[in-house]
């Protein structure tokens, strides 16, 4: 009798396992479709030292290390193996925008700037405009209600008994002290 129950139990267990695995595939497919439709917000990440076109124009061979540091800031990369070379690297990572890193390399001879080379840097105005600009593929939702939607909203507001009809009460003229007077 017990062996009969076990022999009937095994196919049922196998069927339940197959159904669970098939269901996982369906749930996984649905969750994947939802995840691809909803994209999370990704913050803009600015890494490195922003060096503007105006700052590069102020660089002159013969400047001291301290003058360069005051103008551009501390270099991002300062190698002990290359004491006479400073590297300024700047990257802006934004969702939907592939912007390559910008580099500026300065070479010193002793404590004096010998030469510098690097990418074309944006002006401060261009940089600020690029931060405020939306990515090319950004979708702006339609923020316009149809006349029917406006009528439905007005009807709900009129029928809502919780909605305040009078102006809010004025704020108190004085507030209690934050700490007791005994201190």
The string of pLDDT tens digits covering residues 161-175 is 555 555 666 766 777
Residue written as tokens 């029917």?
A: 148
Question: What is d(CA 94, CA 136) in angstroms, rounded to the nearest whole number?
Answer: 11
Give the predicted TM-score (pTM) of the model. 0.49
Mean pLDDT, range 9-25, rounded to an integer: 63
Question: What is d(CA 38, CA 25) in angstroms, rounded to the nearest whole number?
Answer: 20
pLDDT at residue 4 greater than cutoff 80: no
Pick the closest to residue 49 from 103, 119, 9, 2 (CA basis): 103
Whether CATH 3.10.450.50 fits 45-132: no
Phi, psi of 104 (to 5 degrees): -140, 125
How much is the pLDDT for 153? 84
- Taking every pair of Cα atoms in the chain, the longest distance, rounded to a whole number of angstroms, is 100
pLDDT at residue 29 greater than cutoff 70: no
Mean pLDDT, range 91-119, rounded to an integer: 85
Are the C-beta atoms of residues 55 and 68 closer than 8 Å to each other?
A: no
* Six-digit token string for 158: 């009129």
* Six-digit token string for 88: 């300024």
């Amino acid at each position: 009798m017990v062996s009969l129950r076990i022999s009937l139990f095994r196919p049922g267990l196998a069927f339940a396992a197959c159904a669970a695995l098939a269901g996982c595939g369906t749930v996984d497919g649905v969750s994947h479709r939802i995840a691809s439709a909803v994209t999370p917000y990704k913050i803009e990440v600015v890494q490195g030292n922003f060096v503007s076109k105006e700052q590069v124009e102020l660089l002159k061979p013969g400047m001291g290390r301290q003058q360069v540091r005051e103008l551009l800031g501390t270099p991002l990369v300062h190698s002990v193996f290359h004491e006479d070379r400073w590297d300024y690297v700047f990257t802006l990572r934004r969702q939907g925008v592939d912007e390559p890193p910008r580099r500026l390399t300065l070479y010193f001879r002793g404590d004096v700037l010998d030469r510098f080379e690097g990418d074309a840097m944006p002006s401060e105005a261009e940089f600020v405009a690029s931060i405020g600009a939306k990515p090319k593929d950004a979708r702006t939702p339609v923020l316009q209600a149809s006349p029917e939607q406006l009528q439905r909203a007005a009807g709900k507001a009129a029928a809502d008994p919780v909605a305040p009809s009078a102006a809010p009460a004025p704020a108190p003229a004085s507030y209690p002290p934050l700490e007791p007077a005994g201190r």
